[in-house]
Structures are given as structure tokens and as C-alpha cells.
Amino acid sequence: MSHFSRFTCAAAALLIPILFLSGCRKSGESDEERQQRETAEAQKQMAEAIFSDEIRSLTEDELAALPPRNGLPTEMLIPNALSARVIQPARFLEYADAGKVLRFLGNSPSLVPFWNQFDQLDLIITSAKVAPVSLLDVKSEEKIGENFPFPCTAVYARKTSAVDREAFERSHFGNIPPERIETVSLAGREVSLSENSLIVPLDASGKRTARIDGIATAIEYPSENEAVVVTGTRHSVEMFFTAGDGESRGVLAQRIGRSETGHFDFAFYYDYSSPQKEAITIPFPPELTAVMLQRARFASFLVNASAAEGQDALRLEIAADSPEGIGAIGEALGNTLLRVDASLGAAAPSDEQNGDSAKSPENAVAPLFPQLRDLLRSVTKEQEGNRLAASIAMTASRAELFSEAFDRLNQLADRSALNGKRAQTAGNLKYLSDVINAYYAANNQFPPLAVTGEDGTPLLSWRVELLPFMGPEGKALYSEFKLDEPWDSENNIKLLGRIPPVYLSPLQNAGENGKTLVRIFSGEGMPLDGGGEPVKMQNIENPGKTFLAVSVAPSQAVEWTRPDRLEFDPDRLGEIFGDFILALPVMGEVFSAPLTGSAEEAAALKSWITGKPEENASSEEALPKPNEPRAESNTPPLDF
């Protein structure tokens, strides 16, 4: 469950008893008026408790029970942080299999920032909390929600050399125009800040959207080799820069400032004493999550990848409200481990199945289930007073297990990332279908393959001709083209870098600015090539089994404004598509399927590309059944 959905459920659970206990009816109120007043009062009370700016601190006794201060720059944590991560990249790189882990992080970059620059960093600290925002209906501008919990984050990095400020700001400010970025002074700290609006979906279809105003991003450079970026509401961003030192930034900052830092590569911290604790998203099962929310005060998870023999490689530490509370948490944790052990035992493949599992990317980790069961059974639990620790010590065999596990996880991650890229590309093709339909409705024909001069010379691509049907931004860009000049004229070449997102694909080779994989087959006999004459729907024999546009292999990318020709050659299908085809039929859903290179498949593809059935090939049987790869996050790496 997401931060938002879990938080909303918790808010609803809190709201019911507050409504029940709210005051008596005011004189003259109707039942409906009383209910509205009490609901508003309850929501206000709940929001004030959850989103309070009051900095919470540990007691003197609690501080005395912790280790001495460790020197971490806790003034870089967001005030009243709910969760935080402390990462020591230089220490982690001592791990023999660090490259395998970094490859895994590269496929899941949201897990750890700056994963691609670990060799240039010696410390990363991230922290997060939630702050209230209002939702506005995008169309009507009416307020449709208040006190919506929005994540506010701070990311601090310390390099071993000077920060490239231009690259860092490019990573975080993206395409924000320079005039939208201001330099402000906050508590004597010079900060680059940009405030913008954010559009968020209100349902799974994405058809209902809301706008959140006042979302700010701010960057500061405490020294030449340090950078911190803060994102959230304007108020929360300003509070970060004015809150003072680490001791004045709340409970989590105080605990982290006194944590053991010498024996871990990654440390994850969670403040279960926070009023915002419902937004904590540790993937615990329901039983353990419930008791943690009820009884826990603090939790940390430490990873020491380069641990020596006998040292803790993994360690979970929990503090509860009382010895009874830690007893309940310990029992729930034990039950969780037993259930996971039973699940691994039931899912472990037999000896006969192991060979097949190794060949299947989806089951790549299954052969390790027996060793993972042994690993779970090796967990050591220590419990004293209101604290509990569960740990796994490093051994040679466990080091081998971790190494092999990351090998297999990378197989899954690579496949998942590739599926995500394909799904995003398929989504762009689907949107392109809507654009082409709008063009057809306005012009009663498909777009010509090129914008031509008076003598018939191709000047610009069909992709430029579609711009007026891509909303106000597309219309504005179209108006800047000189349609009587070629794509690489002095004026038009300047527009090459402003490629609309619909023509982009995460499958493209990095650095190919202005190029696209979206192309249309042309040449004699191709259904969309009218030889200068308009092509209409009645000219296409079988619209449901004829490709309109395709996504080609990265090696076949072309400049999006250039009038290109993609000629059909049955002997070059692998070169054109690679090992997977993504195509948009004239009518119907996006076609996506792996290619095997068989002769039957080539014949079937020819019928879809030319729009003419082959005599000895069934286009339905020879091609693999279309599939829809599941979308995964594919956030680009940050840079500085």
C-alpha cells in the first residue's frame, strides 16, 4: 500500500471515534449541519495532531541511555523526520560483490539515490515526512480536498571532490526555465528555489486529475563538496533551512546522531513515536505491522555487506513502549519468520524442477529457497527491557548465498526493468493512436508520410504534422516550424531537441537527443504510403491486422522531424525490431510480443506490415500471442 492510501485509511480510522466523542449539538442546528460541523472539527483536530510543526524531542533519560554523539551531520535531516537512511558508499565498496548490488540498485534507483556515483561519495543521508496540501480540480479550479498528506524529503550527499553544481541542478530542476528558479536567503543560507504546481491522478485510469500548488524544490551547497536538495511544500522546505542544528530537529535526528555508525554500509531508521507513523511503509506482514504501529517507538535496520566472519551482516533493532510491548512485537516477529519459512518450504522446487527453474527468469531465485530457509533459521534474537534485536551473522557460506542471490535478483530486475520500458513505450503508442484518430477526424485521411515542398521534395516528417493534435504545447511548437523549409534548415533544426514525449522511449540509446524509435513503413505496397495521394480507412484492407506505426530497435532511431523511409525487408526483421515487437495497428490495441526469428513468423509479420494476408501463413497462429508487460518504475539516475 502506498504512503497516501495507507495514510488515508488511518485517517478514516481516527476520524470515527473523534466524531463520536465530539461536542453536543448547537441550538438551532439540523442533523445535517451538526454532522458537517463535527466532521470539519474532527478533521481539523486530526490534521493539527498529525501535521504539527512542534519539534518533538527525547527526554534527558532517553538521551542518556543512547551512545555518545557520532559526528553525523544530522542538521541535514528534515525536521520531525518520519524515516531516514544513512549510507556510507566508500565503506560499501569494500564489499567484494558491490558491483552486483549496484547493478541491482540501477534497476531500482528509487531505493538508493546516487547509486551510479558511489565511487565519488563518502556519505548520503536522506529523510522524509509528510505535510498537508490542498487538492484542486484541474478543470474547475475548485478545492476538492484538504490536508492531503504529501511527502517532503531531504537528500544530502557529501562527495570526495567538488560538486558539479550545474549537473546537480540539472538533475533536480530538470526542464524548469531559469527564470522560474530564484535565489533566496533562509536563515542566512543561500538557497536556489523553484516553486511549481504538481498534477496527480485521482483514479487508476488517470482521467480524473487534481492539482497541488506550492510544491517547492530547493538546493543548497553547505561546502564545495556537499549538496542538499529538499522537496515538499514551501513551508516544509523553508522549515528545513531555519530549524537549526541536529539536536533541534526532532526525535529521529537525535537518535541517528547517537547511533552506531562504524559497522554498517546502509542504515534505515523509523520513528514509530511520530503522529505520522501510519505513513511508514516497511513491507511487514499485517500482524507485525499492526503491533509495530501500536507498541513500537523506534526501529532501525542495519546492513553490513562487507562484514567479516562472525560479524552481523543484517541487524534489526526495535524499541517499544514497555517490556510488554517488546514482548508482543517479538512474538509477532517470530510468527512472521515461521510463516515465511513455511512459504519458502512450500515453494521450493524439487530436484527435477531445479533445472527448469534455472532456465526461467521468473523462477530464478526459487532454487535458493532451501538456503534462504536455513538463513532465516539462523536469526539470533536478543531481548532486554523494552528493546529487541534480531541479527544474522556473516559466514563464508552466507557470503556465497548473498552473491548468488544478487546474481539471480539481477536477472529478475533486468527483466522487470525491460518490461517496464516496453510498457511505457506501448503506452506512448496508445497515446499516438488517439492523436492520429484526432488528425483523421479533422482531415478525413491519415497523415501523409512527409510534409513536402511545391516540387514534392520531402521536408518534414509526418510526426511534425501531428503536433496540432497534441494539445496547446503541440500547437505552439507546430507554429514555430517553417513548413516550407527542410527539417535541418537554420530555423527547424533548432526545434529538434524539443521532441514531444509521445515520440520518446526509455528503450532508446542514452544521449540520442531528438531521435525517436516511432516509425511507419514506407515504400511501394505499404498501406500508409499513398505515393503522394491521401490514404483513407477504406484503402486499408484489414485495419485490425495492419500495423500503422511501430517502435523499432534502438539502432534504427531517426531524428523525429526528418522525413524518413522505413522499407520492409523480410530478411532484416531482426535488425528492424530486435527480439521484441511493439506495434500500433490501424485499429485495435498495441501489439507487443517476443520475436523468435522463424520463417513462419516472418511471413506472418509481412502480412501485418503490408496489410495483405499471406497465402501460406496464418498471421494469428505464426506470431506469438500479444502480451502486455507490466509497467515498473524507471527513474533516471541522478547526477552531480
Q: Could you write out the three-class secondary structure of 21-36?
A: HCCCCCCCCCHHHHHH
CA nearest to 522, candidates 446, 424, 598, 580 = 446
Residue 186 has pLDDT above 70, yes or no: yes
DSSP 354: H
| Nine-digit cell string for 501 | 514525449
Which distant-in-sequence residues (6+ apart) come within 8 Å of 396 by Cβ? 309
**DSSP sequence for 107-162:** HSTTSSTTGGGGGGEEEEEEEEEEEEEEEEETTT--EEEEEEEEEEEEEEEEESS-
Burial class (CB in 10 A: 0-12, 13-18, 19+), 294: middle
Residue 3 has pLDDT above 80, yes or no: no
Q: How far apart are CA 276 and CA 386, in angstroms?
A: 22
Q: Which has the minimum average pLDDT: 222-226, 430-434, 478-482?
A: 430-434
Q: What is the mean pLDDT of residues 427-433?
A: 90
Given a contact cutoff of 8 angstroms between Cβ atoms, the answer to whether 590 and 436 are in contact is: no
Q: How far apart are CA 350 and CA 366, in angstroms?
A: 10
Of 84-93, 95-104, 142-151, the range with the highest mean pLDDT is: 84-93
Residue 39 has pLDDT above 70, yes or no: no
Q: For residue 232, is it left (φ>0), alpha (ψ between -120 and 50) or beta?
A: left
Given a contact cutoff of 8 angstroms between Cβ atoms, the answer to whether 274 and 51 are in contact is: no
C-alpha distances in angstroms, 516 versus 331, 435, 469?
A: 56, 17, 18
pLDDT score for 160: 92
Residue 358 has pLDDT above 80, yes or no: no
Average pLDDT score over the chain = 83
CA nearest to 261, candidates 296, 304, 227, 228 = 304
What confidence tens digit (pLDDT) does each residue in 437-485 have? 999 999 999 999 999 998 889 999 999 999 999 988 899 999 999 999 9
Higher pLDDT, 484 or 588: 484
Q: Which has the minimum average pLDDT: 37-41, 139-143, 331-335?
A: 37-41
Higher pLDDT, 136 or 626: 136
Residue 409 has pLDDT above 50, yes or no: yes
Given a contact cutoff of 8 angstroms between Cβ atoms, the answer to whether 189 and 196 are in contact is: no
Residue 260 has pLDDT above 50, yes or no: yes
C-alpha distances in angstroms, 568 versus 381, 605, 612, 628?
A: 65, 10, 13, 25
What confidence tens digit (pLDDT) does each residue in 369-397 have? 888 889 889 999 999 999 999 999 999 99
The share of the chain scoring above pLDDT 90, in percent, equals 42
Q: Quick one: pLDDT band at residue 511, thresholds 50, 70, 90? A: low
Residue 14 has pLDDT above 50, yes or no: no
Q: What is the mean pLDDT of residues 320-348?
A: 91
Q: What is the mean pLDDT of residues 550-568?
A: 92
| C-alpha Rg value of the chain to the nearest Å | 29
Q: What is the mean pLDDT of residues 104-115?
A: 75
Q: What is the mean pLDDT of residues 83-90?
A: 93
Q: How far apart are CA 16 and CA 61, in angstroms?
A: 36
What confidence tens digit (pLDDT) does each residue in 489-502 have? 999 999 999 999 89
Residue 93 has pLDDT above 70, yes or no: yes
Task: Give strand ranges (E) for 480-599.
Answer: 515-516, 518-519, 521-522, 547-551, 558-559, 566-567, 580-585, 591-594
450, containing H or E segment: strand 450-452
Q: How far apart are CA 460 and CA 489, in angstroms?
A: 10
